[in-house]
Amino acid sequence: MVKLLLENAQKEGIRFLKTYRENGGYQSLEKALKMAPDNITEEVKVSGLRGRGGAGFPTGLKWSFLAKPENTPRYLVCNADESEPGTFKDRFLMEFIPHLLIEGMIISSYALGSNRSYIYIRGEYAWIVDILRQAIEEAKQNGYLGKNILGSGFDCEIFVHPGAGAYICGEETALLESLEGKRGNPRIKPPFPAVKGLWNCPTVVNNVETIAAVVPIIKMSGAEYAKIGVGRSTGTKLISACGNINKPGVYEIDMTISVEDFIYSDEFCGGIANGKKLKACIPGGSSVPILPANLLLKTAKGETRYMNYESLSDGGFATGSMMGSGGFIVLDEDQCVVKHTYTLAHFYRHESCGQCSPCREGTGWMERILKNIETGKGKMSDIDLLWDIQSKIEGNTICPLGDAAAWPVAAAIRHFRDEFEWHVLNPEESQKRNYGLANYASPLALVS
């Protein structure tokens, strides 16, 4: 399978500039600096690259929204605040092949006219802060950063800014608040960052993987990049796979592979661990709807489901899910959906910034009710109450954290209501054993 980002990631010494360059590194930058900045944006548009952080918004289009008033600085900010449960792909990329991000940052900064760009990285990735700063230093010593880069007349500096533990700072306006030295409270939009972002200046915020993907796009051209993949899912995508599988880890896929192949082939997840059966999966990070095995492997129409934006969302939230951040969480037959949903509800309650009451209060309610059901103290009416609360959070908050908290709860009830009811009806037994597979898995999934 074609690899554009991680092809050299496991090569010895690739963390350092010398080896990175020996493997073709910084050639895209040299090429880019000979192009007009707007032509780079055009290449990114043609490539069909979509934001890899979770929303999947077309990157070239986002870049073209950037306001360019005279005498006002513009900023590129890289979102490396990876904190969506199930997601650890950006960490892998930055840890093993940091120069790919740095090269992508310089090219993107040149395209957008940012002379001062920032990488906002979650504070817990403390050792990666050091890796990135070292890579930046190396790039500077080799003339790839600083004044008049490679004689192009373009000046650029990159700074690494560590966060301090707040999921909400992955939301782009909260990230900008945090970068300005404030609490991570998302801003009301509009104005969008493209007009008023960092320090009120026009700003583009892109995910690590998105920025890294600019390097192969420039190398091979947007049109060639767009030939990889299928439909509007162009290029490659990093998937971080975890849970009850034989081979957890970060995989680069070209989005034409089926979900079934991704889970069961030895090249990727290697099947369900310990000979167990697949029960459910959250395919795109904890916020996206959980799917039972039958709907995960096939769409409601009975067609094969593929690992791409369109196929994963086929059927909408009724029978589909989302590509999201590519955080692929697999649950086997021994896992309890109620308990898993409870840990997620706890997560969102903890991470709510507290600005909007539907999210601040609603996430707390959902956590408490789920805890009651999980510990055998739930009532039948709690399940409907839970549904009611999530429906009143969704769409009623400043930022998408409210939706992100509501969706997992809604999907768990939608697809696993029997399991919630079983907990309520069997308070003692549910403390001793899990509900198991029951009616969820398709015959296909029962082949372990």
Residue ranges in contact with other proteins by CB under 8 A: 73, 82-88, 90-91, 116, 122-127, 157, 159, 161-167, 178-184, 199, 240-244, 248-250, 282, 286, 327, 329, 331, 335, 339-340, 343-344, 346-347, 350-351, 353
The gap from C-alpha 162 to its chain's centroid, in whole angstroms, comes to 18
Closer Cβ to other proteins, 275 or 302, answer by number: 275
Least distance in angstroms from the C-beta of 80 to other proteins: 10
Which of these, 78, 4, 66, 57, lies nearest to 37 by C-alpha position?
A: 66
Least distance in angstroms from the C-beta of 188 to other proteins: 19
Closer Cβ to other proteins, 214 or 250, answer by number: 250
Could you give the angle at the alpha carbon of 175 between the alpha carbons of 169 and 176, nearest 5°?
160
Closer Cβ to other proteins, 301 or 432, answer by number: 432
> If you write DSSP's letter for every residue of 30-55 in order, what string do you get?
HHHTTS-HHHHHHHHHHHT-B-TTTT
Least distance in angstroms from the C-beta of 73 to other proteins: 8
The gap from C-alpha 433 to its chain's centroid, in whole angstroms, comes to 33
Least distance in angstroms from the C-beta of 178 to other proteins: 7
Closer Cβ to other proteins, 122 or 298, answer by number: 122
116-121 and 75-80: which strand pairing? parallel
Distance, CA of 276 to CA of 261 (rounded, Å)? 17
Closer Cβ to other proteins, 105 or 241, answer by number: 241
Continuous segment of H or E residues that includes residue 230: strand 229-230
Question: Do 446 and 436 contact (CB within 8 A), yes or no?
Answer: no
Distance, CA of 248 to CA of 261 (rounded, Å)? 15
Closer Cβ to other proteins, 63 or 251, answer by number: 251
Least distance in angstroms from the C-beta of 351 to other proteins: 7
Which of these, 162, 165, 166, 156, lies nearest to 136 by C-alpha position?
A: 156
> And the tokens for 146?
């600083």
Least distance in angstroms from the C-beta of 124 to other proteins: 5
Least distance in angstroms from the C-beta of 254 to other proteins: 20
Helix axes 37-47, 208-220, angle to 10 degrees: 100
Closer Cβ to other proteins, 39 or 274, answer by number: 274
Whole-angstrom CA distances from 442 to 1, 278, 315, 349, 415 are 28, 9, 17, 33, 13
> And the tokens for 176?
């900008």
Closer Cβ to other proteins, 212 or 226, answer by number: 212
Closer Cβ to other proteins, 155 or 180, answer by number: 180
Least distance in angstroms from the C-beta of 284 to other proteins: 13
Least distance in angstroms from the C-beta of 439 to other proteins: 21
Sign of the alpha-carbon dihedral angle for 296, 352, 61, 4: negative
